[in-house]
Amino acid sequence: MSTNIIPEKVINWDTFNEIVSMDEDSPDFSKNLVIQYFDQAATTFDQIQQELDGKCELEQLASLGHFLRGSSAALGLQRIAWACERIQNLGRKREGSVAGQTVPDSHYAALVRENLNHARNEFQAAKAELSTFYNSEL
């Protein structure tokens, strides 16, 4: 599956520039959006973390993954989106299963945890890159 290959670049500039182009009409639109996104992402990461540490409901993890994936992709932050997609699919047990075995939910949860860390790293990378772009610490 092609979706299992993580995109090379942190930011898909084609997508991101579409957002930036809307600054024409409302200045700082994209920057504010990015700031809003980073808030949202941080919150969502925490929620995923809480879910993992708490009830660990896979369905909930999947929907959180889906949620963040949507906004990440919309901004062109494709590596975060990729990690979120993994979380989503793991939560739905669509991937990460072992052939011929029934694996416990904890198996998926562990993989989600892995991908959460991955997503956090990508988050930092994206933040750094966009801070450079806007020439200010985000």
Partner 1 sequence: MSTRNGIRSSVSSPSNFKKLTNSNESVLKIWVKLEASKLAPNLTNQATAIEYSKNDTVDDLKDRIFAKFKNTRWAFENDSFSIGIGVLCQCDLENSGAYMQQQPFLAHDTPTKGLRLEANTDQLLHPVPTSSASYNVRAPMAPNAPKPWHASRSCSPRAATLDSPLSAQGSTAQNLVPNLTPVAQLRLANNHSAASARDSCSLSPVKRGLAKRLSPAIESVSASGLTPKPDDFPRSLPHQSLLQPDELIIDVCTTLFGGTTNQKPTDALLIFSSSNNEPVFNDINDEVDQQEPIMEDMTDYQLIVDEEELRKLSLTNDEENTDQKQAILLLPRGYEGDVNLPSPNVTSPSSTVDTHATFTFDTQAPKNGPLVEEEVGLVPSLDPVVQKEGSPFLRTVLETVTTESATIDKVFAKINILVVEDNMINQAILSSFLRKHKISYKTAKNGVEAVEKWEEGGIHLILMDLGLPVLSGIDAAKQIRKLEKLHGIGTQNQISKRSQNFTSTPDSNKLEPRRSHRSKAPVIVVALTASNSNSDKTEALLAGCNDYLTKPVNLDWLARKITEWGCMQALIDFNDWKEGNENVISGNDSKSHRPSKLSSQIKRSSVDES
Minimum CB separation of residue 124 from partner 1 in Å reads 18
Size of the site for partner 1 (CB under 8 A): 24
Terminal CA-to-CA distance of the chain, rounded, Å? 34
**Contact between 22 and partner 1 per CB under 8 A:** yes
**Contact between 75 and partner 1 per CB under 8 A:** yes
CA distance 31 to 111: 33
Q: Which two tokens stand for residue 72?
A: 């990440």
**Contact between 133 and partner 1 per CB under 8 A:** no
Residue for token pair 């200045």: 27
Per the document, the length of the chain is 138
**Contact between 102 and partner 1 per CB under 8 A:** no
Phi, psi at residue 21, to the nearest 5°?
Answer: -65, -20
Q: Which residues of this chain interact with partner 1, rule CB under 8 A?
A: 3, 15, 18-19, 22, 24-26, 29, 33, 36-37, 40, 63, 66-67, 69-71, 73-76, 85
